Amino acid sequence: MIEYEQLRYIYSSCPKARLERFLPHLNSTAEEFEISTPQRLRMFLAQIGHESGQLRYVKELASGEAYEGRANLGNTEPGDGVKYKGRGLIQITGRSNYALVALALGLPLLEKPELLEQDEPAVRSAGWFWYKKNLNSFADMDAFDAVSDIINKGRVTRAEGDTNGYEDRLALYLRACEVI
C-alpha cells in the first residue's frame, strides 16, 4: 500500500489535491493488478510518474495527428489518431489498444475515449497495461531499462541516444526506492 507521504515525496512537484485524488485509485489498482511488492510499486510509480508528468496529465499534450493512419495502433479510420491519442497515466494510444482496455475495464472507450481522462480509469488503464505486458515479472528481476523500453516501445534505450525521458524515469525510481 502506498502512503500519502511516500507519494508526496516521489511526486514532489504534484499538487496536494491531485495526490489525494489519485492515491486511493493507485492503491486499488496496485491490488487489482498485483503490483504488490515494494519493487513492483517503485517501478510502476516511476513509469506512470514520468508518463503523466507526476499525475498532472491524463491526456497527451500533442494533438494525436502523428498517429493518424498508424495500422500498428489500429488507427484505420480517418480521425483515429486524434480520437485515440495517449490517455490515462500510461498514455494508452490507438484504437486497438482502446478496444482492449475497454474490454478489460468494462468501459465504452471506443465511443467515449475521454473516459480515460477520469481519475479511476486513468489509473486502472495503467495497471491493466502493466499487467498485460507482464511488467511485474520485469520489476521482480529489477529490469528497469527493460520496463522503460516496453512502456515506450523501445525508444528509451540509452544506447540509441534517444532517451525519451529515461533520466526522469530513473530519478523518480530512485526517489521511490528511498521511501518504499
Domain edges within the chain: 4-56+120-179, 65-117
Distance in angstroms (rounded) separating the CA atoms of residues 86 and 64: 8
Average pLDDT over residues 128-152: 95
pLDDT in tens, 17-37: 999 999 999 999 999 999 999
**65-117 maps to which CATH number?**
3.30.20
For residue 59, list its beta bridge partners. 87
State what percent of residues in the chain have pLDDT above 90.
Answer: 90
Q: What is the pLDDT of residue 156?
A: 47
Distance in angstroms (rounded) separating the CA atoms of residues 75 and 38: 37
